């Protein structure tokens, strides 16, 4: 437990990766509800906002932080939660994962602002804004990867494209979009509870911006995947068309050669002196007519 700020109006307490016992001690001291304690300890809990009962509100938000790609729960894989208990004279933040959000707020805001002007709402605003901002850099990185893959698809060899990379991008953007969708609902509830202040409106607009970025990436990744599969199918069709053309030329020639390759004794054509040139001429004639027919049908 660490006290990040304290004045004559309120105290900001931060708990990094607390045990259940430590959290329960704080809960007893500040009269937290049991369910909110359980929510704050659950790693994969979705964002939520509960208006104050007994003058204490509960806010749970998630910041971007990608871990192992082998985890099944995409919410836990791409984000980490911050639980915030908001009272009349205190704000208590709880988080399992290490983050620089609180350090930045202390260094850039608390240390450079008149102590008398620091309020709970200002700190809360900066925490929520920082969590939303954490999704911006990953969005730009994913967008750059999408552009590179798009360039490869349209200007280079399709065999260089790795479908798992494209799927990974889509999955990551979809997970972020899902988190931001839930966060938007939370911020809407927070705005209503705070009478739509300018700071709450600013958080709403920032959430919409981040949501738009990741929605666009999901759409781009899906379109790129569809384009890749379509172009791959087109190349396969071109290969099949080429093989079909070759088959069309050689099939009748193979048929003729197969007939005169049979070892029957009574085959009068085999006794003619001009049988061989006549057979070759017929074969060339067949090839010529097939070629003219393909040209007419625009297969060649």
Cα 90 from Cα 107, distance rounded (Å):
20
Residue 290 in any domain: the answer is yes
- pLDDT (tens digit, 9 = 90+) per residue, 124-179? 999 999 999 999 998 999 888 888 888 877 776 666 777 777 888 888 888 889 99
In a domain, 244, yes or no: yes
14: tokens are 């931060």
Of 48, 83, 109, which one is at a domain's C-terminal end?
109
Query: Which among 279, 283, 291, 282 has a CA at the least distance from the CA of 246?
Result: 291
Exposure letters 19-34 (e unless 16+ CB within 10 A, then b): eeeebeebbeebebee
Q: Domain range spanning residue 270? A: 236-296
Domain with 50 in it: what CATH number?
3.30.460.20
Q: Which pLDDT score, from 0 to 100, does residue 74 have?
A: 63
49, 74, 109 - which closes a domain:
109
Domain boundary among 80, 109, 138: 109
Relative to beta strand 11-16, strand 48-53 is unpaired
Q: Is 93 inside a domain boundary?
A: yes
Domains contained in the chain, number: 2
Domain containing 272 — which CATH number?
A: 1.20.58.340
Residue 74 lies in a domain: yes
Give me the residues of the chain with pLDDT under 50, please. Answer: 70-71, 73
Look at residue 70 in the predicted model and tell me its pLDDT: 46
């Amino acid at each position: 437990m660490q006290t990040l700020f304290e004045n004559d109006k309120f105290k900001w307490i931060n708990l990094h990766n607390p045990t259940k016992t430590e959290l329960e001690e704080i809960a007893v001291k500040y009269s937290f509800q049991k369910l909110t304690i359980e929510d704050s300890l659950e790693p994969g809990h979705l964002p939520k906002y509960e208006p104050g009962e007994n003058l204490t509100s509960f806010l749970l938000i998630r910041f971007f932080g990608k871990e192992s790609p082998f985890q099944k729960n995409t919410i836990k894989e791409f984000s980490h939660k911050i639980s915030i208990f908001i009272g009349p004279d205190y704000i208590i933040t709880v988080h399992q994962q290490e983050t620089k959000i609180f350090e930045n707020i202390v260094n850039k805001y608390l240390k450079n602002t008149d102590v008398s002007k620091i309020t709970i709402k200002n700190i809360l605003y900066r925490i929520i804004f920082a969590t939303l901002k954490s999704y911006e850099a990953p969005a730009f990185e994913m967008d750059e990867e999408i552009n590179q893959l798009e360039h490869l698809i349209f200007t280079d060899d399709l065999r260089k494209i790795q479908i798992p990379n494209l799927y990974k991008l889509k999955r990551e953007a979809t997970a972020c979009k899902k988190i931001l969708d839930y966060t938007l609902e939370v911020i809407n509830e927070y705005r209503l509870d705070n009478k739509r202040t300018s700071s709450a409106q600013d958080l709403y607009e920032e959430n919409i911006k981040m949501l738009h970025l990741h929605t666009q990436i999901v759409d781009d990744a899906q379109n790129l995947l569809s384009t890749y599969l379509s172009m791959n199918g087109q190349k396969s069709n071109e290969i099949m068309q080429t093989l079909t053309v070759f088959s069309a030329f050689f099939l009748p020639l193979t048929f003729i050669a197969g007939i005169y390759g049979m070892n029957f004794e009574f085959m009068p054509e085999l006794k003619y002196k001009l049988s061989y040139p006549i057979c070759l001429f017929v074969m060339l004639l067949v090839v010529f007519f097939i070629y003219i027919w393909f040209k007419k049908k625009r297969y060649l």
